[in-house]
Chain A
Amino acid sequence: MNTSVNGAPQWQLQPEANRTLVTLSGNWIAQEGRIPEFPDSALKEIRQGEPVEFSTDQLGRWDTSLISFLWKLKRSALEAHVDLRMDTLPESAHKLLDLLPENPPQPQPPAPHHFAPVAAVGQLTLDTLNEIGCVSEMGTAAARGGFAALVGRGMMRTVDLMTDLSAAGPAALLIVGVVNFLVGAILAFVGSVELHKFAADIYVASLVAIAMVREMSAVMTAIIMAGRTGGAYAARISTMQGNEEIDALQVFGIPVSSYLILPSVLALAFTMPLLYLYGCLIGMFGGFCVSYIMLHVSPLGYFHETLQALPLDQFTFGFIKSFVFGTFIGLTSCRIGLKAGRSAADVGIAATKAVVVGIVGVIALDAVFAVIANVIGI
């Protein structure tokens, strides 16, 4: 290596009497950003049987950019059946060139993409049906595991259930409270606009009570839990998938459904109805605050009107709804986590998907419940 050489990397092809000389000069440093290309046609002119040799007297510092150039030259020479004599090259360059394959595999063209809407819809339908089947199967297995746990032969660890219960219940009280309080307050504001015209401010109480108990508390709580706990379940299970933890469970014969999924689903199914009741209470309190401070409704009047508006079956219905929402969020997010790939990006995808499926699913289920309520006349 000639350290006194300066300047850009250059090469030159000189035909001589019995050979062709490739002169390499300058500093060949990739990071300096100037690497000459070796054109495919450069060796076409060379007469058959004449060797190509190198002169490196003017070669300065070099790194892999020189190797990259020589590799290209070597491949061209092979293609043109030219005899390449590399013995005048630096020995270390030799060693690196020897490591490189002579015929790099050609990149495969990407598979052609056909636009086939019917096939796509069909595939989507099949996939969805398959998913519904898988989630139901998982739910059944988890339920069976739950019964086994009841008779003391379960594979579920109480400590897991307790951890999940605490994460899904007490830890969520603040956010569920804040959201439901604000929803109750907003309902009171919105209701008062119309009711005030008829001097019926007191009925704000029944509006808030019915809206919270029938719909808002259950749906808002479910949406919060889908984002908070459902996303966490999916991320946790897909990370376990990436660490081969799920594989380890399967090898030991520990059923994933009752060891891993059951505590998560149970935690949500237990806490959701309780959070729903708590949300109703806080929402009505939010409505009361607005009515008392802004609309000057008397506390006793608000309390009385609320009790008047609320038959017990409304609560029962909301209670059942939140139980179903909790089970749904638990099962779908665990399923999405189990189905996820094994990379870091897949964990993010799984968490996002769990949240989206959770929220959309809860609202769709709520619509089904609304129809059922209408039919049975609640």
Chain B
Amino acid sequence: MNNQMPSTNDRPTLISVSDLTLAFGSRVIQHDVSFEVKRGSIFAVMGGSGCGKSTLLKSMIGLLRPRQGTYMVGKDNYWSGDDQSRIQIGRRFGVLFQSGALWSSMTVGENVALPMQMFTSLTPPVIRQLVELKLGLVGMLHAIDQYPSELSGGMRKRAGLARAISLDPDILFFDEPSAGLDPITSARLDDLILNLRDGLGATIIIVSHELSSLFHIADDGIFLDAGQKTAVAHGSPTWLRDHCTDPLVHAFMHREQLDTSSPHENG
């Protein structure tokens, strides 16, 4: 079965995940997931609702310890070190949570400024300047003094993105960036993601099932299946759409209903 895109990318590997098993108690969410993310690429984690995409993301950003397997970031084994080493590696991460996850007691500007105040020795005027820059990049400069409760969903996401890039991370994680956004806002966000990748040289990992946006931006990815509880296909969304023969992936990529009359391994 053709479910592995031939490698055409000669950039160095930044993240490598091998045989990762994720579980809550005795309930296994995904097992033996392996993939590599090249430096500077936009990597999509795809799959239907409830297949464990967000759980995989959680373990990659340090919120959930995997049952087994290794997760390498550069030369560091993320989960084998102590808390301190994980925090050190985590300083390279920027995360955009599904609904922004802005701290509600602070203004948008303060949200973006907080990581800089905590982790750099920059002076307040320089921080202010950088906060304006980051909010300017995501088109949210006008809302710098507003509170998250005064913003719409799309604005919260963009502000969350500004906060995610506040420390100029080289690895960005996006959890459902376009969920709940209108097509125009969503397309603008896609362009922004591409610009940030090119401008900041960041590596981006996106969890999403928003096909139009994935075809547009992602150049590599994996497809997780809730039935088999593992990754069933590797490749960019466009490659999976055009070449993958796995029936579930095919149905997903072509927005078709799965043919359940014939025996099917994904059950």
Chain A: residues with CB nearer than 8 A to chain B?
A: 29-31, 33, 35, 37, 63-65, 67-68, 71-72, 91-93, 95-96, 99-101, 104-105, 107-108, 341-346
B85 in contact (CB, < 8 A)? no
A105–B129 touching, CB < 8 Å: no
Q: Which of B57-106 contact A (CB under 8 A)?
A: 104-105
A105 near B142 with CB under 8 A, answer yes
Please give 4 more A-B residue pairs, beta carbons under 8 A apart, in addition to A104-B136, A345-B104.
Answer: A37-B126, A68-B130, A107-B144, A343-B105
> B48-56, B195-203, B225-233, B238-246: which one contacts chain A?
B195-203
Contact B120 A30 (CB under 8 A): yes
* Interface contact A343-B147, CB-CB below 8 Å: yes
Which single residue of chain A is at the shortest CB-CB distance from B201?
A92
Q: Which B residues touch A342, using CB under 8 A? A: 149
Whether the pair B168, A95 counts as a contact (CB closer than 8 A) is no
Partner of B104, one of A31, A35, A65, A343: A343
Q: Say yes or no: A30-B122 contact (C-beta < 8 A), given A64-B200, A68-B129, A99-B195.
A: yes
- Which B residues between 110 and 138 are near A, CB-CB below 8 angstroms? 116, 119-122, 125-126, 129-130, 132-134, 136-137
Q: Is residue B210 contacting chain A, with contact meaning CB distance below 8 A?
A: no
- Set of chain A residues within 8 Å of B149, measured between Cβ atoms: 341-343
Q: CA of A65 to CA of B123 in the docked complex: distance in angstroms?
A: 13
Contact A99 B139 (CB under 8 A): yes
Assess the B119–A31 pair: CB atoms within 8 A. Answer: yes
Q: Are B122 and A64 in contact (CB under 8 A)?
A: no
**Contact A33–B122 (Cβ < 8 Å):** yes
> Cβ of A101: which chain B residues have Cβ within 8 Å of it?
136, 139, 141
CB contacts (< 8 Å) of A72 on chain B: these are 129
CB distance from A29 to the nearest CB of B (A): 8
Could you show 8 A-B contacts with beta carbons less than 8 Å apart? A63-B200, A68-B130, A95-B195, A99-B195, A101-B141, A104-B132, A105-B141, A343-B105
Q: Which residues of B contact A95 (CB under 8 A)?
A: 195, 198-199
Say whether B137 contacts A99, CB under 8 Å. Answer: yes
**Of A29, A63, A343, which one neighbours B148 at CB under 8 angstroms?**
A343
What's the Cα separation between A96 and B202 when bound, in Å?
13
Q: Do the beta carbons of A67 and B133 come within 8 Å of each other?
A: yes
* Residues of B near any A CB (own CB < 8 A): 104-105, 116, 119-122, 125-126, 129-130, 132-134, 136-137, 139, 141-142, 144-145, 147-149, 165, 167-168, 192, 195-196, 198-201
Q: What are the residues of chain B within 8 A of A29 when measuring CB–CB?
A: 168
Ordered nearest first, which 6 A-B pairs have the shortest CB separation? Answer: A343-B104, A96-B199, A33-B121, A63-B168, A345-B105, A100-B136
- Contact (Cβ within 8 A) A92 B198: yes
- Once the chains are docked, how many angstroms separate the CA of A95 from the CA of B136? 13
Expressed in whole angstroms, the Cα–Cα distance for A13 and B132 within the complex equals 25
Q: Known: A95-B199, A345-B104. Is A31-B167 also a contact (CB below 8 A)?
A: yes
- Chain A contact residues: over half helix, strand or loop, or mixed? helix
User: Out of B168, B196, B199, which one reaches A30, CB within 8 Å?
Assistant: B168
Q: Which residues of B sit under 8 angstroms from A31, Cβ to Cβ?
A: 119-120, 167-168
Closest chain-B Cβ to A72's Cβ sits at a distance in Å of 7
CB distance from B161 to the nearest CB of A (A): 12
A79 to chain B, nearest CB (A): 17
A104 to B135, CA, bound (A): 10
Beyond A31-B168, A95-B199, A344-B105, is A64–B148 a contact (Cβ under 8 Å)?
no
Contacts of B192 in A (CB 8 A): 99
Contacts of B120 in A (CB 8 A): 30-31, 33
On chain B, the residues within 8 Å of A344 by CB distance are 104-105
Task: Give the complex CA separation of A342 and B129 in angstroms.
Answer: 30
Tell me which of B121, B136, B168, B201 contacts A99 (CB under 8 A).
Answer: B136
Chain B residues contacting A107 (CB-CB under 8 Å) are 144-145
- B141 closest partner in A (C-beta): A104
Nearest residue (CB) in B for A96 is: B199
CB distance from A36 to the nearest CB of B (A): 10
Across-interface contacts of B116 in A (CB, < 8 A):
30
Name which residue of chain B comes closest to A97, CB basis: B199
Residues of B within 8 A of A96 (CB): 137, 195-196, 199-200
* C-alpha spacing A65/B120, complex, angstroms: 13
